[in-house]
Each structure stands twice: as C-alpha cells, then as structure tokens.
Amino acid sequence: MYSSLEELKKHPVFYYFSEISNIPRGSGNEKAISDYLLYFAKQRNLEVIQDEALNIIIKKPAVTGYEDIPAVIIQGHMDMVCEKNKESLHDFEKDPLQLRIVGDMLYATDTTLGADNGIAVAYALALLDSDDIPHPALEVVITTEEETNMRGAFAVDPACLDGEIFINIDSEEDNKLLVSGAGGIKATQILTITWQEAPENAVGYRISIRGLKGGHSGMSIHKGRGNANKIIGRLLYDLSSAFPYFIQEINGGSAVNAIPREADVTILLQSSEIGQLENKIQEWNQVLKNELRASDPDIYVKLEKIPLDCTKVFSEQTMNKAITFLMLIPNGIQSMSMEIEGLVESSTNIGVVTTIDKELLFESDIRSSVKSLKDNIRNQMKLMADTLDCQFTTDCNYPEWPYQPHSNIRRLFEKVYKDRHGTDIELIAVHAGFECGIFVEKLPGIDAISIGPDIYDVHTPNEHLNIPSTLNNWRYFLSVLKEMNTFKFEEHNETAIEEAEEVS
C-alpha cells in the first residue's frame, strides 16, 4: 500500500506518529514529549493543561451542530516500553526510532515501535489539528508512566474534566471493542546479598538465555512463551546438583510488564568442572528446544568464558535463596475465567531480576480481573519473601475495569460498525491493565470503551503496526464521532445502575 515512509507520512495520523517517534519517551523520560504536546496545543490556541506528573489535557470546542452532545474524553498514554535487541546500539534516552515499512506493517529497527501507545497520541493530534472533522467537545488526556506504574493516570485531577464519554485508544485488536480489563499490582522482593571471597584459581563463565519471543505480560501470557528468568533458575538448580560453583551476578529482563526474553548469570568454577558445565549446557539446549518448540523455537543457551573483574561471589546461603526464589516464585497463568471462555483471569510475570551492589531484586507483574485473587497472589509472594527473610514491597496497585451492562458509547460503536460492515462487532475483555479502570473510579458514571488498530508483538523489538488496520480504525473512530449528533443517548436508569454495581 505504501512504498515509503515519506508517502505514508502524508496521512496525518502517520505524520504525527513519525513526529513523536523522533522524541525519546520511555516511561519516566516523558518531559520532551510532554513539552511537545504542550507546544502543539498552544500553537493552535487550544486550552491546555500540563500537570506536575507531565500529563497533558487538551480541550477543543465542539463544531457547529454538536454543541449539545456530552463532551468526549479521548485518552491514551505518551510513554512506551523500551526494549531492544542485545546487539542494538540504540539509546532510548536520546535516539529517534528508526521506522521502516515491511509490506503492510510498520516496524522500528531492532527496538520496540511504541505503537503502544503512540498510536493514541497520533490519532489525537491528527484530530485536534483538523478543521473539517465533525465532533463534539473534546478533552484529550495523554498520560505518563502507564507502562510502569500508571502514576500519570492516578495523578490526573478529575476536576479538570467535564466529559461524560470516555474513549481509550490503547487496545490492540481492530474490529473488536474492548469493554473490560484486569487490575494489577507490581511486587518487588529484595534479597540482601551476603558476599564472600571468590575461590582461588577459579574461572568465570557467563550463561545466557537468548532467542525467546517475550511479549506483553498480560496480552501474551496465555501463549506459553518461555520466561528467561524462570529458565535461568531451573538451569542453576540443575547445575548445583552436578558440581560446585559460585554466582557473581544474575540479571534478566528489562521491564516488569514484558515477558523476559533474555537473562544472564555469571558463575565461577574450577577448571576441572568445565567439561561438566559444557555438557550441561548442551543438555539444556536440547531440553529447551523440545519444551518450547512451538512457542519459542529459536531459544538457545549460550556459554561464554569471561575474564574475572570481581573478587566477590554470593555466599552459599545467598546463592541458595536466589535459586529458591527463581524456582518457586509464581509465574504464568494462575487461573482462567469460568465466565468468558479463553480469558485469563489471574497471572503473574517475574519480569526483572537485577543484581545491584548489596541487593538482588525480583520484580513481578501481578494481574487479575478479580481483586481477591490479585491480593492472594500478592500474599503468596509476601509469604515467600518472609520465609526467605527478604524485603517485600508493592507499587502501582491499579483497579480492575468492570464490564458496564448499560453503555451508550458501546451501543453507538456497535451501531456504526454494523452500518459499515453488516455484521456485529465482537466485544472482548482482556487480561491486561488499562487506565480505563482508574478513570472509571475517578469519574463516577463515566461511560467507557477502548479501541485500537492491530498491533503485534507488543513490548518486544518485533513490535509492528498494521497500516491498513490503523487507517480502518481511524475511519471507524471518526464515523462514531460524526454520528454523535444523530444518536439517541439514553439516560442511565436505576435498574441499569444496580446491574452495573452487581457486575462490578
């Protein structure tokens, strides 16, 4: 469809997507992109708020004929997950993304694309910049730090918003309406490292897990993909039964909400044990190729001799505790929904393991559409930390987004879709955290929905965006806005409100 980026950028959505791709916007590094959005609004004389969390709220008045329609909040987040291939020299703190087209897909070279959630920002800017798109009053809310702790959404002052309809653009499946999402919490277990002197005449080796696909810890958790941190734990446990060795450091994963694709451990051992180590690595390559032949056929374990640059190693007690953590920490699907076929109800992902000076950190992403089950997984992890005499902290405890039985905006999206395609659109609930839950809590009575184009391999360097789907979803979105002046918005009656409360 599009043979070059220059041709693609002639469309306003992709023009703005390209513009923001030039601005570093990893979670916690949003000042530049927030300032860009602030400048954009001021240049167009639009009302704009930049709060202390660097969230941006831009307001645009209704066009003629749409003044009496309830204001619409359009919401997404400006930050992205920063994952790259090991060999990539890309610096997410300063380098622009290198966009490229392959067929109908848009990629970034060796890095995440940031379509999650740059596409929401691009849609919003294209809409705000237009003077010929019919729409009611708009309140565009672009938040920060969604990918790490949703601190931006939590910080939004609800008094700044008047909208009654909420359209989130952070879904990743075209031709579907997202109507419910999971809540979540980040759990961190901290093991204090006791160091001891490295043994004399020891040699150093780095063992690396490579070739895994990874993926979003919510959207891809059901795909059975290997978790590099769990795999390195299994390997270390097996080695400990074969010959003596010492650990210098363990590091795996780079984002708590991404299934870790890579992990490394540095071990020391005597020269006489090298042959056994090499044999074990060969065995594990065969084991993992067999176990993950369907989900991760390219997995491999790499063994590399390295020079020793440290005279300290984990004590035996620290080493045993670290391996115990990696072996026993809950990971993967914990329960499936009995109400929605195929929907993961609860899960956890041990996303990051980091050796820092005197501490070994284990960071997990817990998700559930049922609060009590989310709390239960948290309690399991706390009990494990207590048993192994570790610190335990939690962060980013965000609420579930319950299904709303009565929804005007859902009815409108359904009507427009059927008018366009002659068939009913699919309603879905997903096992992922959405800022919708936070805003539904903040804004009682808000009518929420989530849409988005097809995005694949999110939170990995293979992330790619379907270009025709993006354009189709954009036209669908605009058709909904256009039809708002003829659609009959019904008031919520008491029965509907009671039903919603029962479901939640």
**Catalytic positions, please?**
79, 146
Q: Report how far residue 389's alpha carbon sits from residue 7's, in angstroms, rounded to the nearest whole number.
A: 59
Token pair 């902290």 is at which residue? 393
Query: Is the bond preceding residue 117 a cis peptide, omega within 30 degrees?
Result: yes
Residues 285/218, Cβ–Cβ less than 8 Å = no
CB atoms within 10 A of CB 502: 9
Position 221, amino acid: I
CB proximity list for 293: less than 8 A, separation 6 or greater: none
Cα 469–chain centre separation: 20
Q: Report how far residue 46's alpha carbon sits from residue 42's, in angstroms, rounded to the nearest whole number.
A: 6
List the structure tokens of 120.
Answer: 């929401």
Q: Report how far residue 461's alpha carbon sits from residue 81's, in angstroms, rounded to the nearest whole number.
A: 10
Q: Report how far residue 271's alpha carbon sits from residue 288's, in angstroms, rounded to the nearest whole number.
A: 26
Position 116, amino acid: D
Element holding 360 (H helix, E strand):
strand 359-368
DSSP string spanning 133-198? -----EEEEEES-TTTT-HHHHH--GGG---SEEEE-----TTEEEEEEEEEEEEEEEEEPPEEEP
Residues 88/111, Cβ–Cβ less than 8 Å = yes
Ramachandran category for residue 177: left, alpha or beta (phi over 0 → left; psi -120 to 50 → alpha): beta
Distance (Å) of CA 189 to CA 193, 323, 353, 360: 13, 14, 10, 8
Q: Helix (H, G, I), strand (E, B), or coil: what is residue 474?
A: helix
Q: What is the 3-state secondary structure (H, E, C) of 227-258?
A: CHHHHHHHHHHHHHCCCCCEEEEEEECCCCCE
Residues 135/66, Cβ–Cβ less than 8 Å = yes
Q: Where are the alpha helices (DSSP H) in 329-466?
A: 371-387, 408-421, 436-442
Q: Report how far residue 116's alpha carbon sits from residue 462's, in angstroms, rounded to the nearest whole number.
A: 13
